[in-house]
Amino acid sequence: MKTRHFRLLTLVIAMSLVGLAAATASRADSGTQPTQPESQLSDTSHQVSDIQRKIADMQAHGQAARAGKLSAAATCGYGDPSPIFGAWGDLAGYSLAPQGDFSDTSQWTFKNAEVALDPNPLGTNALQFVKGDAEAISPAMCVDLTNPTIRLMMKDTGGNGKADVKVDVLYEDLGGHVQHLTLAKLRARSDWSPTIAIPIAVNVLSTASASGTTAVAFDFKVEGLQKNEVLELANLYVDPYCSR
């Protein structure tokens, strides 16, 4: 019975990953959804496959993943989803991430970044990066297989339009130790517009957790920012449903 259950779980995970890849590609290719020029998703398939093998080995021995410091600090639960990016052709329901509108930043970690009032189509506050080594790390949050992607707003002014934001996910491995994985490099327009939908990838770790969730945070780091250039992020959202 355990073997049958494990095979079924593996099939569900595989189908979820395939469906996520197709959904992400469909969103990125949609002619009705303008996205940042030259934004790129990282290929995380090797890392996810390695995580799946380790999960399978752990479950075969009747073990569960350990929870660490990231889990202890994580906020679980989201507000009601809505098609917040519908104006750009993405009709999926998204929920605001913890402190995702920057009205409260008590759980964010900033380096050479500050919150300013700069209205955009989804809100009023923005996180501004003004130096090339600027960085911001989000609060920790709980995700599972039904939380496949994140998405946010972005703007870049005063430069040559070639600055990138590298997006890493911080996560706990099966032993509860914090690791990181690069998910994407984002490039912004000169006006406010949504980023591409970014797969979280490591939410597969939730299948090895006794709680059914795993903790993640997101690290946004600026690369190639010029003098007098200002790059802004706003409104971090999580997609709370894998199936439509």
Is residue 24 within 8 Å of 197, Cβ to Cβ? yes
Distance (Å) of CA 83 to CA 61, 63, 86, 100: 42, 38, 5, 16
> In angstroms, rounded to a whole number, what is the distance separating the alpha carbons of residues 133 and 190?
20
Kind of pairing, strands 230-238 and 113-120? Answer: unpaired
Ranges under pLDDT 70 in the chain? 1-37, 242-244
Angle CA 12–17–22, to nearest 5? 125
Is residue 178 within 8 Å of 69, Cβ to Cβ? yes
The token duo for 195 is 């980023």
- Across 58-163, the runs of DSSP E, i.e. the strands, are 95-96, 109-111, 113-120, 123-129, 135-137, 141-143, 149-157
Q: Give the 3-state secondary structure of residue 47.
A: helix
Distance (Å) of CA 212 to CA 64, 74, 110, 239: 10, 14, 30, 17
The token duo for 46 is 């090797």
Domains of the chain by range and CATH? 2-238 (2.60.120.260)
Task: Say what the pLDDT of residue 18 is.
Answer: 39
pLDDT tens, position by position, 71-121: 999 999 899 999 999 999 999 999 999 999 999 999 999 999 999 999 999
> In angstroms, rounded to a whole number, what is the distance separating the alpha carbons of residues 198 and 35?
12
Task: Say what the pLDDT of residue 29 is.
Answer: 39
**CB atoms < 10 A from the CB of 186, how many?**
25
> In angstroms, rounded to a whole number, what is the distance separating the alpha carbons of residues 71 and 78?
16
> In angstroms, rounded to a whole number, what is the distance separating the alpha carbons of residues 10 and 28?
27
> In angstroms, rounded to a whole number, what is the distance separating the alpha carbons of residues 64 and 205?
10
Closest C-alpha to 228, from 129, 110, 116, 120: 129
Task: Say what the pLDDT of residue 37 is.
Answer: 57
Task: Say what the pLDDT of residue 240 is.
Answer: 80
Q: Give the 3-state secondary structure of residue 110.
A: strand
- The gap from C-alpha 177 to its chain's centroid, in whole angstroms, comes to 19
Residue type, 37: P
